[in-house]
Structure 1
Amino acid sequence: MRIRISKLRTVAAAALIALGTTLVLPLPQAANAATTTDYCQSQCSDILPPGENGNATLAQILLNQTLGIEPSHAEDQLGPYANLATGYQTLTNSTISNFFNDSSFGVTSSQVASTETPRSDVTIVRDKATGVPHITGTTRSGTEYGAGYAAGEDRLWMMDLFRHVGRGNLTSFAGGALANQGLEQEFYRVAPYTEADLQAQIDYISANNGTRGTQALADAQSYIDGINAYIDASDSGRYFPGEYVLTGHKDSITNAGTIDHFKLTDLIALASVIGALFGSGGGGEVQNAVSLLDAQQQYGVTAGTKAWESFRERNDPEAVLTVHDGSSFPYATEPASPQGEALPDSGSVTEEPLLYNKTGSAATSTASAASAAAAVTSLTAQKTGMSNALVVSGAHTASGHPVAVFGPQTGYFAPQLLMLEELQGPGISSRGAAFAGLSMYVELGRGQDYSWSATSAMQDVTDTYAVQLCTDDYHYLYHGTCTAMEKLTQTNAWTPTTADSTAAGGYTMVVYRTKYGLVQDRATIGGVKVAYTSLRTSYMHEADSIVGFQMLNDPGYVTSPATFQSAASHINYTFNWFYVDSTHTAYYNSGNNPVRATGVAADLPVWGQPAYEWSGWDPVTNAATYTPAAQHPQSVDQDYYISWNNKQAKDYDSAGFGYGSVHRASLLDARVKKLVAAGGVTRALLVKAMSDASLTDLRAEDVLPDILRVINSQTVTDSSLATAVSQLTAWVTAGSKRTETSAGSQTYANATAIQTLDAWWPLLVKAEFQPGLGSDLYTALTGDLTIDESPSTAHGPTGSHAGSSFQYGWWSYVDKDLRSVLGDTVSGGLSQSYCGSGSLSACRDTLLSTLKTAIGESAATVYPGDTTCSAGAQWCADSIVQRTLGGIKHYNISWQNRPTFQQVVEFPAHR
């Protein structure tokens, strides 16, 4: 989807990797930039496409749309990022700068592009190469003021969108486009906060975090002051973002209209978007219950439960682990005797309506289901998978110092959701990336002699409760008393503007809130009416983690792996955190993991009754007792760490399905393990391993060989099938890559084999599993885990043109099933064989019949085309699009499955 100037339906998007709790410590005063030593010694690099500049005046937008002229630094990081796909094979340490920026502290005098002093206690210097703001404050308040001012300069329009998405009123602000409707509906359903709720979260930080909490709020206020100062300056100078004119908020002739100032509650609203996108895990218990019941109906209770558990793969012995030294970190494990389960009556589950018309009755969205899904998938899908990390200890590197290549995969947007910055001031010394509008601290980046990054962990911190209804559909039993649900509403209306040609319209969104969380579904249990609610530990605590990020930016606090892990433990969102300095590496899994009642199964709904509540849970604040830091997966100086949203450690249950023998993390693990075994790892070698994995089709590398073994168990006599098998074999032999024949060719090597697998995979999976599972159970399990997520599939959770691929699919199921049919030893296998009912010959027939169908499909059928690509355009179907969030657009680039912001670091020295 591309948003053009004629119909600027601004798509809003995410915010901070935001934020966890408590610690009362005096804040040490660090040296300012003038005396800061950079211990990375030019061996730290980063990249963030398309460019640092995310603001454009009306004139710049018109020039871009009509002539393709880019504002300065709006696109200068896109080319180097894209070029790694064809340039990585010959990469050396000395050529890393061809594909990454130098992320050293400071700017040499010859590289200063501009210097400004928005207040007497802060200076913002921008470099010529990238336009990144280097902010130096003589006071802490000045440093944060400068951070806010620079954020306004680079992302004001996007920040304004964020705060409206977080409040569920995007359409009222930016128009009634389908994209806007889909976004505000998606986020309001999971975080429908009132202004009082937003203020309560600020008050909670102040009351529960001592000195650091007080300082964090002071930092945030200075940051907001800086944003507002830029709003005033750009308004009076008429260089504010042109999107304000295009959406009717400002008049280009008279300058009439206003750009509202920011306030603290806006930051909480921004953080709530990130809470939904990147920092949550769990949920889906009702869907799990539906598939479990279908399995029990298909096979009987005992056999059905066993079958369901085999697909659940909650502790698969073949899964790739981040902590692979055998350490066990039990969490959310399957109880021997489940208590309090609240499974719905078959066929009784209905989703709670969100939209209501003017009469107060439930209404259908004015955005079609397909259009709404297409509008939001590029953002909301990121919560299902993002980011990777490759970290090697000094014992296995050429220099003897640890090496890391890591970063978050936050999607591709114009402007980017993240922004780059350097912060230097009392108690702050950092450089890296932060979400626009929440950049008072660097969230992923580096300090003076250490660097850190994160991947989404997604462990289960969200539970579903069944509350029994009483009186009517809007009262429920709470501790034996019939209690009214709280009705939360947001009414939006829009009228056409210069940039929005949709007809005038509007609707009211309604969410019902109980003590046990937000109503998501309704059903019956034993004929009794219930509402299913969703409760996550980060709800009403979207910004608590501000203290953890404050610590990560504090050179006086982070001095070792232990202090890094302590800082990360104050982040209440579910992330895997990685650390390197000149001597050590470390890992820590963050998140407020609730202590569940004995016997409660974390992945199925339970009754909303005192016996099944979280330990220490306070329904007023939604605070509870959380598992102690020592019980979270963690490690120091393991030989290497990899993460690509995979299972963290033995016995630690990653919420949901898909953590089995084949996972996209397998691509990283195989390559880094090989490097470590050889020794002498360098930055260039680790980047090459990452890039090689980023261009590989997971299905082709790790599953297709098993498929071909089954087929080749007999001679293929059909000439067309023999040709297809030969092409697929050649592709596997060549490395299973989806890469161009040459740079810029926009044509894939092994193109026919790639098209064949793209067409074949969904046919193969259905034919392999549906006969044995039955139609109902097969459909239910595909609701738990989508079958495919190749780069070109718009039906997968990531959507098309989003880069991120192969996080979710039935790779492991096919792998285990076919190995079983072949007679291989399979640890943690499925409860029965499915392909050909276990017969090798019958399985082979199934594979060949579906292959015959696949090779008969045209390119236009496999790659049906969209607003970016014509039907049948294979390379284009895979390509990455910088989805426009404003008026500036960019070219699409060749597919790479890699982080959006990425660091390459090796520290040769330490304080």
Structure 2
Amino acid sequence: MPRRTPRTALDRLRTSRSLLGFLKTASVCVLVAGLLSPLTQTAASAAGATAANDYCGGQCSDILPPGENGNATLAQILLNQAFGTQPAHAEDQLGPYAGLATGYSALTDAKINTFFDDASFGVPSDQVASSEKPAGRGDVTIVRDKKTGVPHITGTTRYGTEFGAGYAAAEDRLWLMDVFRHVGRGQLTGFAGGAPANQGLEQQFYRNAPYTEADLQAQIDNAVAGNGARGQQALADVKAYLDGINAYIDASDSGRYFPGEYVLTGHKDAITNAGTIDHFKVTDLVALASVIGSLFGSGGGGEVNNAVSLLAAQQKYGVEEGTKVWESFRERNDPEAVLTVHDGESFPYGTKPADAQGEALPDAGSVTEEPLVYDRTGSAATASAKGTSADAARTTLSSARRGMSNALVVSGKHTASGHPIAVFGPQTGYFAPQLLLLQEIQGPGISARGASFAGLSMYVELGRGQDYSWSATTSGQDIIDTYAVELCQDDYHYLYHGTCTAMEKIEQKNAWKPTVADGTAAGSYTMRAWRTKYGPVAYRATVGGKKVAYPTLRSSYLHEADSIIGFQMLNDPDYVKGPKDFQSAAQHINYTFNWFYADSQHTAYYNSGDNPVRASGVDTEFPVWARPAYEWRNWNPATNTADYTPSSAHPGSVDQDYYISWNNKQAADYTTASWADGSVHRGNLLDDRVKKLVAAGGVTRTKLVQAMADAGLADLRAEDVLPKLLKVVNSSAVTDPTVAGAVNKLQAWLNAGAKRTETSAGSKTYADADAIRILDAWWPLLVKAEFEPGLGSDLYTAFTANAPIDEAPSAGHGPTGSHAGSSFQYGWWSYVDKDIRAVLGEPVQGGLARTYCGGGSLGSCRDTLTGTLKQAAGLTAAQVYPGDDQCSAGDQWCADSISHRTLGGIKHGKISWQNRPTFQQVVEYTSHR
């Protein structure tokens, strides 16, 4: 049953004349019906206290902003748009989450649940808000707690348990789930309207996974067939989960309390209730999984861009020297990089071969991206002319693609209690509603609480079991390769093993009508993908004058559903009883993730993903010829399966003194697909702090949370690079008063800790605001002045395409876009650090092939830095923070602020910047089974 509308909203409806005037356009009777028609859930008379299967001793906490409830009726949406009224539990976790930024310094163990929620199993009887038997079933109960409204699902049968999970998911995220099953099929615009953001979103994912319905079904069949009894159980779980979703669709439709977005997009009539909400089917979940896997679980695919920048380097310096320069900027195995597995063990993967074989580098200037969209009409043609579709995609979900996750895990040897402590979680971006949902599931073979992606919540994907917790960060090792297929006959035939073979044309035709939701005119277009046996075509070029297509092959392509088995194992208390079991479960997840584990005795880490075994001599950084000699070992194009590296070759560890991860390098010799993974990385912000805690001993939950929060407010450039820059500037040699004043402000900020923090909670004004403004202005100026003269404009531009120069919180041009929270993952801080140290004559391991600042002269470098610093200091706040659709020019706090991007009808307010996971756990188990 749905939740009762908050009394405050109903009172405002009854008393506000202005609202009643507004309601005439939406129909007063419909809106009141939307408010009043849901039946109130009955409060449970009793519920268990601390669950008998909970071994955390009240020391497990979690949080997921903005709130658990992601569904809203039409009435609630209109009230929110007009007055900011929030449905119950729509944003009640946002305030505590935001409050940690100013509250962490005074944190104690007793105060942790001021900023987090109690993640104990069960709901105390005095905290039960409601209890329901979905669809009248006797084998499952959904209890929601008063504080957060999180569903606690308890089933006496496996079917009933999963039915309840599906029903609860639909209660909390039905509209979002519907959006994403359409995104995964490239059908969003036809479903939700032709807004530029919708166009960009469906194009982004269709390019990577242009699946047919048969492809989606085959993935389910293969995942089940290849996993025996567990595969059969997974299919049964999915079907029960779908039955629960569909039961809620039917109930909400007949009760007229379905999400209001269905009315705003024309799928339901607010007056007559005409129209339908389509039931979910098995292939919908595969489409959903393909979106999530593409966002968070795949690394690589940059081979063509790498080749373009390599050619630019060779054009500038010659082949030999240009290759050295390129390799130094690539930093594929930098000896100064911070590591997750830091015990000295090596895990070679993706290393540079001594003699590369089969490379198929494009001719300079010949690369073109494969067009995706054809036959634009109406608003689609308008969006194309304005160039808004791709930009819109970058500012919605693509911001989550690179804004990832972190983990801090400390062994019991170094804690005050003797039990391990973990503070960890995924950074999935900030959306309204959130992509994840919270739940507890208790039933035969399942016992877990935590977060799951909406529509895939038949199991908890990140969270806790009875006596253990687990979490993940995106790892980004390279599981995507680009092949050069030689064309024959025409542009749509290619040579496959010597035979001229036709490409497969996959099309998705989309047309949309004007909707209230997006306000755009009608339009249409066709998305067209050309598939080869080596995957969908991404680029075209010539190689040695021969016309080629460049398709990309991903090991998880056509295998989006395979990971379900690993998640099933993680939820099974009979399977996971210790760190080795946890690692075994994680091995069944084919997406590229770093997995972390903690119980009362042990910690563990494992890097997952289907890492293909490549042919000898193949360099993973560049395209290779599509020939048997260079294919993955034992690759079967019909099923896209191959030999994969064994689990022992994946970075893994048990009971290391501590683990940190912020999407940094996993282990020695293990190459990620990320550029600039070198001496300065945001992982250093965690490593430096946790290393100090471990050295001092007596680590507590409070201290580890504080380390995370402190790192989450630090400006990486200021903490790790600015001191070296100021050393070159040398304040004693500065004579210009503008530069001297800027240096003094920057040094004072450094002395105060170099944080981007408010003067006080809610002030919306930064302490050290001038110093922050100066560095924000200075960084892009100094990087360009430091490197472009030596690299030349062509190579500098090519390298910035591989690695953007900056990702400060206010840098809307960076990979995450503006107002996205996650910052400092990608940038040129390592390059600047190594180059400046070389100028200073300090030791550098894995340095750049050349010295760039001032041509290597300390005096000339000082002139470069002081000149750009003076320029930066003279820029006004309005020039540094030019404003956007959410902030006025010059509003520094607002430029940094986190905004929840709307994926539905409900909006939320901004919060102050923090660089931390979206869903986060704080755990310290006191006992074990």
Partner of residue 448, structure 1? 466
Distance 1:714 1:286 in 2: 47
1:740 aligns with 2:749: no
8 Å CA contact retained: 1:352, 1:520: yes
Partner of residue 69, structure 1? 85
8 Å CA contact retained: 2:204, 2:393: no
The answer to which structure, 1 or 2, has the higher relative contact order (CA under 8 A, 6+ apart) is 1
Amino acid at match of 2:122: G
Amino acid at match of 1:144: E
* SS in structure 2 of the partner of residue 157 of structure 1: helix
1:48 aligns with 2:64: yes
Shift of 1:33: 11
8 Å CA contact retained: 1:671, 1:689: yes
1:600 aligns with 2:613: no
Partner of residue 216, structure 2? 198
Shift of 1:370: 4.7
Shift of 1:372: 3.0
8 Å CA contact retained: 1:36, 1:448: no
Q: 1:558 to 1:133 in 2, by over 3 A?
A: same
Amino acid at match of 2:497: H
1:835 aligns with 2:847: no
Partner of residue 112, structure 2? 96
Shift of 1:383: 2.4
Partner of residue 674, structure 2? 656
Distance 1:842 1:429 in 2: 64
1:409 aligns with 2:427: yes
Q: Residue 485 of structure 1: which of 482, 503, 518 is its match?
A: 503
1:384 aligns with 2:402: yes
Distance 1:692 1:34 in 2: 33
Partner of residue 311, structure 1? 329
Residue deviations 1:228-259, cap 9 Å, x none? 00000000000100111111100111100000
Instruction: Note the 1:25-40 alignment, pairs <5 A.
Output: 36-40=52-56
Residue deviations 1:776-806, cap 9 Å, x none? 1111100110000000011000010000000
Partner of residue 771, structure 1? 789
Distance 2:104 2:160 in 1: 41
Distance 2:524 2:396 in 1: 24
8 Å CA contact retained: 1:7, 1:500: no
Amino acid at match of 1:867: D
1:114 aligns with 2:130: yes
Q: Residue 791 of structure 1: which of 787, 809, 821 is its match?
A: 809
* SS in structure 2 of the partner of residue 167 of structure 1: coil
Partner of residue 346, structure 2? 328
Amino acid at match of 2:249: I
* SS in structure 1 of the partner of residue 397 of structure 2: helix
Shift of 1:498: 2.5
Distance 2:810 2:105 in 1: 24
Distance 1:617 1:419 in 2: 37
Partner of residue 562, structure 1? 580
Distance 2:370 2:330 in 1: 26
8 Å CA contact retained: 1:385, 1:456: no
Instruction: Note the 1:165-204 alignment, pairs <5 A.
Output: 165-204=183-222
RMSD over equivalenced CA pairs, Å: 1.7
Amino acid at match of 2:101: A
Residue deviations 1:74-110, cap 9 Å, x none? 0100000000000000101000010000000000111
Amino acid at match of 1:93: D
Partner of residue 284, structure 1? 302
8 Å CA contact retained: 1:178, 1:367: no
Shift of 1:713: 7.0
1:903 aligns with 2:921: yes
Distance 1:353 1:847 in 2: 43
Shift of 1:381: 3.2
Partner of residue 636, structure 2? 618
8 Å CA contact retained: 2:51, 2:122: no
8 Å CA contact retained: 2:196, 2:388: no
Shift of 1:377: 3.3
Shift of 1:6: 15
* SS in structure 2 of the partner of residue 228 of structure 1: helix
- For structure 1, the 5+ residue unaligned runs are 9-31
Q: Residue 643 of structure 1: which of 649, 654, 661 is its match?
A: 661
List structure 1 segments (4+ residues) > 2 angstroms apart after TM superposition: 5-8, 32-36, 362-372, 374-378, 381-385, 497-500
8 Å CA contact retained: 1:355, 1:364: no
8 Å CA contact retained: 2:394, 2:817: no
Q: Residue 708 of structure 2: which of 690, 696, 710 is its match?
A: 690
* SS in structure 2 of the partner of residue 236 of structure 1: helix
Partner of residue 541, structure 1? 559
Partner of residue 171, structure 2? 153
Distance 2:902 2:754 in 1: 31
Q: Residue 97 of structure 2: which of 68, 81, 84 is its match?
A: 81
1:349 aligns with 2:367: yes
Partner of residue 595, structure 2? 577
Partner of residue 666, structure 1? 684
1:263 aligns with 2:268: no
Instruction: Note the 1:842-861 alignment, pairs <5 A.
Output: 842-861=860-879
Distance 2:506 2:743 in 1: 57
TM-score (norm 1): 0.95
* SS in structure 1 of the partner of residue 133 of structure 2: strand
Q: 1:649 to 1:712 in 2, by over 3 A?
A: same
Shift of 1:384: 2.5
Amino acid at match of 1:320: V
Shift of 1:497: 2.2
Amino acid at match of 2:676: G
Distance 1:209 1:490 in 2: 32
8 Å CA contact retained: 1:7, 1:501: no
Residue deviations 1:792-821, cap 9 Å, x none? 011000010000000000000000000000
Shift of 1:371: 5.3
Partner of residue 294, structure 1? 312
* SS in structure 2 of the partner of residue 424 of structure 1: strand
1:526 aligns with 2:541: no
Partner of residue 5, structure 2? none
Distance 1:382 1:256 in 2: 36
* SS in structure 2 of the partner of residue 125 of structure 1: strand
Distance 1:366 1:722 in 2: 48
Count the aligned residue pairs: 883
Amino acid at match of 1:85: A
* SS in structure 2 of the partner of residue 465 of structure 1: strand
Farther-moved stretch of structure 1 (256-265 vs 55-64): 55-64
* SS in structure 2 of the partner of residue 366 of structure 1: helix
Shift of 1:379: 1.3
Distance 2:420 2:178 in 1: 40
Amino acid at match of 2:190: S
* SS in structure 2 of the partner of residue 896 of structure 1: coil
* SS in structure 1 of the partner of residue 562 of structure 2: coil
Farther-moved stretch of structure 1 (373-382 vs 288-297): 373-382
Distance 2:387 2:420 in 1: 48
Shift of 1:500: 3.1
* SS in structure 1 of the partner of residue 184 of structure 2: helix
Q: 1:33 to 1:353 in 2, by over 3 A?
A: farther
Shift of 1:857: 1.6
Distance 2:307 2:632 in 1: 20
Partner of residue 236, structure 1? 254
Residue deviations 1:554-579, cap 9 Å, x none? 00000010000000000000000000
8 Å CA contact retained: 1:92, 1:684: yes
Q: 1:677 to 1:375 in 2, by over 3 A?
A: same
Partner of residue 871, structure 1? 889
Shift of 1:363: 8.0
Amino acid at match of 2:181: R
Shift of 1:886: 0.8
Shift of 1:364: 9.1
Distance 2:300 2:386 in 1: 27
8 Å CA contact retained: 1:341, 1:604: yes
Q: 1:354 to 1:364 in 2, by over 3 A?
A: farther
Distance 1:572 1:143 in 2: 26
